[in-house]
Structure 1
Amino acid sequence: MAQTQYTHVELLTLNGPEFRRVSTAPPRPPTDDEIPVIDLHPIHGDQAARAELAARVRAAATNTGFFYIKNHGIPEQLITEALSQAEAFFSQSDSDKKQVSSSKFESAMGYHGVGSTQINRTESQDRKETFSLRYNPRMDPTIDDAAAWPERDDALLWEGTAHLPNFRETTIAFWQARLALARKIVRIFALSLALPEDYFDGVVTHPGADGLYIHYPGTPDTEHDSQVDLDVGIGSHTDIQCFTLLWQDMSGGLQVLSATDEWIDARPIPGTLVVNIGDFLQRLSNNQFKSTVHRVYNRQSTSRYSMPFFLGFNPESVCRVVPSCIDKDHPALYEPISCGKWHRDRLALAHTTPVAV
């Protein structure tokens, strides 16, 4: 029997490079425990039902840090309509897409072209293009005095996409549905950390909440062999914020680094979203929850689409390791930091990697 070979993935952190051991074996399917499917219907149940749900979420969060959710409450019709809008946007000419180039916006929302990012400096430039929508209190149905918040440059974003029928309405509706779901899930995460259910409510009133459309162009057949180890859709990385909600089409390509240092396929499952832990939630849990390395390869000749939603906490909120994750044998591993500073510092670090101009 051949001995397993390993290499390493390099990740940039605020404390310098970190290296993760990775098997060179081809990706394998996950076990049911590694990326479980969790029925979210009990989130609307009584206290006992929610506690049982929280226990399942905790088991997933402390293992691989990835799980699927079904019965999540976002209508399939809305997801289908959002996908249609993503396809319509990316099928435009480059000049039309660049009407909403991210360079025109202070928040870096809008359009990023293929090869404009390189999330891992030791791998290839990311073979993807994105449209990003950032949090705006004027889109948040829970904000009663939204008009009192400062105007932002969103108007330019919608002017540049006004020729796409229903693009604005559908994109905002899908963003709102995922924000509402994320606020429900954050209460389950509180329970899973042995905290009061409302522990995080005060830090998600105007959170970091980024909704993306992502298009991974198909890989021509002639490139399959020559670039099999080089051309990533998005390079090996961990997510920055608290957690991610991901819708992916049926193409496949999402790969997750298991607790046994093997790449596993987070295969698409109809009717589900993927949830994964981000670095900030790992930090707050004193490393009990796992923010796991993952990447995307699109090895097919046709396009792959995904629609992730990243939830962070209110930018000005200073957060520390939660009390339930600290005792005399397990002191806090991290100093308090504001969510906004954490996000800015991590993004600034990412900008030190080479990118295409």
Structure 2
Amino acid sequence: MPSQVQKTTVLHLASGSGPIARTILSTPLRDASPTEIPIIDLSALSNPNSTLPDRKAIASQIRAAATTNGFFYIKNHGVTQSLISSAHSASLDFFRQPPELKELANSIHSAANTHMVGWHPPKTQKVNPFEGIDKRESFSFHYDPARDPDAVLPVPPKIKEGIRVDSDGFPFSRTDATVPQLREGLIPLYQEVLRLGRKLVKCFALALGLDESGFDAKFSYPDAALAINYYPPLEHSAHAEPKDVSVGSHTDFQLFTVLLQDDNGGLEVLTRDGQWLRAPPVEGTFVVNFADYMQRITNDKWVSTVHRVRNVSGNERVSIALFFGFNRDESCGVLESCLEDGEEQKYDEISCREWVERRIKNMNIEIEGEGPKDIV
């Protein structure tokens, strides 16, 4: 008797190479298993007595996750619960304000007029041009060496040209009058996760067959931005999936993302074979996923995984994401350690700045008449 053909659908989304498509299995959404999105213990990274073999053991687990689905949880990461709770509470205080107060931190109407900084009102973001408008609002800010506890100051002129400093202290200069706790809650958390990011970069170098400090020079003044997302609950029923998305299907841009979820869930991850998985909150953990630039420099060995958010919890949801990349003026080609004998490089070297600008441009493509270019 012939085997039954698996039903599929097609998902269209943007990429750095233009519109692409993914084949999606029509199997029910389910929770990820521990092998699909593992939990990795980072205790050794905070232990001053840890040895190189201890850290290589973590790197080995990261490499396995990177080459499977590109997502993993981290526990014993060193960021205290008090910092996380303060940031979460301050974020809710900000988003629960009337729109006219949040509007003060809207970069479109500010003197700073800085791209992707400050408050982004509802119905203003569409991360996937082939899906509906994201059902969220957000607040974000750029990397600033003055906020980096480990930055060398003053910043070298060549580096300084590539840093997107928020002018006049924006956006916090516009929020301090109404929610001073936002600055007080977010900056200390940002600094600790920035330190965590540097520890992870050393592990990634080991996992890629490099010296532990192999990426340090490229990560001295990183493209490390923070975004808080606020999601109202989506309308749905027990028998029907929601028609809307909280954040549309996408991949991240640079190296990796560290995500702080609350208890409500909503993050969904697409496997290589096209199965949607829930990545539910796990107490005491952050979620880490790899992004497009990392996939490029590993010649597709490490996965920049498609993911989305659908808040079907019935509650308001807040997440805090830190997006990490090399210094914006840096460039990196395919790593020799990621090439098998005789294997050719799939990608040319490109600067981080150029890559991010290309990704942003392709999020704003004209959809009508523009079909997908390939299947990835």
TM-score per shorter chain, which class?
over 0.9
Q: Which residue does 1:166 correspond to in 2?
A: 181
Residues 91-137 of structure 1: CA deviation (Å, up to 9, x unaligned):
01111111011323323211111121111122111001110011011
Q: Which residue does 1:40 correspond to in 2?
A: 42
Aligned ranges for residues 234-313 of structure 1 at < 5 Å?
234-313=247-326
> Alignment partner of 1:283: what SS?
helix
Q: Which amino acid letter does the alignment assign opposite residue 192 of structure 1?
A: A
CA displacement at 1:26 relative to structure 2: 2.1
Asked if 2 retains the 8 angstrom alpha-carbon contact of 1:120 and 1:353, the reply is no
Give the counterpart of 2:190 among 160, 175, 184: 175
TM-score by length of 2: 0.89
Q: Which amino acid letter does the alignment assign opposite residue 141 of structure 1?
A: P
> Alignment partner of 2:69: what SS?
coil
Q: Which residue does 2:333 correspond to in 1?
A: 320
CA distance in 1, matches of 2:147, 2:206: 28
CA displacement at 1:172 relative to structure 2: 1.0
Q: Which amino acid letter does the alignment assign opposite residue 129 of structure 1?
A: E
Structure 1 spans left out of the alignment, 5+ residues: none
Name the Cα RMSD after superposition.
Answer: 2.0
Asked if 1 retains the 8 angstrom alpha-carbon contact of 2:72 and 2:289, the reply is yes
Asked if 2 retains the 8 angstrom alpha-carbon contact of 1:236 and 1:294, the reply is yes
TM-score by length of 1: 0.93
Aligned ranges for residues 1-357 of structure 1 at < 5 Å?
4-43=6-45, 44=47, 45-103=50-108, 104=110, 105-146=113-154, 152-162=166-176, 163-220=178-235, 223-224=236-237, 228-352=241-365
Structure 2 spans left out of the alignment, 5+ residues: 368-376
- Stretch of structure 1 that moved more, 202-211 or 105-114: 105-114
Residues 309-357 of structure 1: CA deviation (Å, up to 9, x unaligned):
1001101112111110124422111101111111111112213368xxx
Judged with a 3 Å threshold, the aligned counterparts in structure 2 of structure 1 residues 2 and 233 are, in CA distance, closer, same or farther, namely farther
> Alignment partner of 1:115: what SS?
coil
Asked if 2 retains the 8 angstrom alpha-carbon contact of 1:219 and 1:302, the reply is no
CA distance in 1, matches of 2:341, 2:72: 31
Report how many residues are paired.
Answer: 352
CA distance in 2, matches of 1:288, 1:99: 44
CA distance in 1, matches of 2:359, 2:218: 20
Q: Which amino acid letter does the alignment assign opposite residue 319 of structure 1?
A: C
> Alignment partner of 2:179: what SS?
coil
Identity score, percent = 36
CA distance in 2, matches of 1:123, 1:229: 13
CA displacement at 1:226 relative to structure 2: 10
CA distance in 1, matches of 2:151, 2:123: 37
CA distance in 2, matches of 1:144, 1:239: 28
Judged with a 3 Å threshold, the aligned counterparts in structure 2 of structure 1 residues 140 and 318 are, in CA distance, closer, same or farther, namely same
Judged with a 3 Å threshold, the aligned counterparts in structure 2 of structure 1 residues 248 and 154 are, in CA distance, closer, same or farther, namely farther
CA distance in 2, matches of 1:70, 1:141: 23
